Amino acid sequence: MDAETLDMFRMVLTMAVVLAGVGTVYTLVAPLLEGNALKKRMGAVADERENLRKNRMDTLEQNAGLRADNKGFVKKIVDNLSLERLLAASDLKDKLTQAGLRGQRPIYMFYFFRLAMPILLFVFGILYLVVLNPLDWKPSQNWLGVFALALLGYYAPGIYLKNKASKRLASIVPVFPDALDLLLICVESGMSIELAFGKVSREMAESSIELAEEFSLTTAELSYLQSRRQAYENFGRRNDHAGIRSVSTALIQSERYGTPLGDALRTMANENRSMRIMSAEKKAAALPAKLTVPMIVFFLPVLFIVVLTPAAMRMAANL
């Protein structure tokens, strides 16, 4: 072997030794440089949940006005007169959320109108019933009507909330079993419960905006609340319906005891569908009783006229 070949062999061997040393050092040092992989993974998940929470809350804020500005004339009156203590209403926040009104602004508006409506109707009653007296009532009757209007003004905000909540629930209940079917499909396909709620909220927007809003809000709460149980409880509290509360309870039990979520959703979907059918049958059974009075008032007189008029005309002609 000549000297040139020997030098080439030594150079290759030296490079191989250097590369092997560098690889060994990198193998030993690389785990130390990477740090805790689990910690990084959890940090990435936390960041993703925070981004999801922000996106959901921004969407809800734009659509429903969850964070409306409360500073103004109404807030000053409520705070200065301590109306929340003087005109306290039981479960007001639950009633407002059931009506689709969230945030602090609806609370202040409720107490303001509970103060203003009796005063306005009382003044209107005095001007209309006592001063003008177009009905020619006695003074005692006029003052009784004035106080009745003031009492109506006090209860008017509560009646408005109850009607608004009933209309909102009427738009949610008919399509809720279909939403549960979609939620079941999403869960059994491998989606997490947060992604499943978000997917259903987007799919149900065309059928019921209110239900889509509820699912979207639940998705946001699942993303940022420490306990999923609290999010499920809020979902049942915002919708005062037996079927929805049952679903909320089933989700809580599934989260607590580890029961299969798909089985619980399938059972709840069947129960809510049965409740929807029973509600339709109940309305159909009550229809004849409701039609009795209109038939007596409108159909029977016309029928009597059609049947008896020819006979009455013949009798008049013969006489």
- DSSP state letters, 144-202: HHHHHHHHHHHHHHHHHHHHHHHHHHHHHGGGHHHHHHHHHHHHHTT--HHHHHHHHHH
pLDDT exceeds 80 at position 313: yes
Highest mean pLDDT, choosing among 3-7, 83-87, 266-270:
266-270
What pLDDT score was predicted for residue 144? 92
For residues 286-308, average pLDDT: 85
pLDDT tens for residues 162-207?
Answer: 999 999 998 898 899 899 999 999 988 888 888 899 899 888 888 8
Per the model's pLDDT, the better-predicted residue between 43 and 4 turns out to be 4
Residue type, 180: L
What pLDDT score was predicted for residue 147? 93
First to last CA, the chain: 153
> Count of CB atoms within 10 A of residue 71's CB?
8
Buried b (16+ CB within 10 A) or exposed e, 122-146: beebbebbeeeeeeeeeeeebeebb
The whole-model pTM stands at 0.65
219-to-49, 62, 197, 237, 306 alpha-carbon distances in Å: 10, 16, 6, 15, 63
Residue 143 CA, distance from chain mean position: 43
CA distance 25 to 27: 5
**In percent, how much of the chain has pLDDT > 90?**
14
For residues 240-246, average pLDDT: 86
What pLDDT score was predicted for residue 39? 54
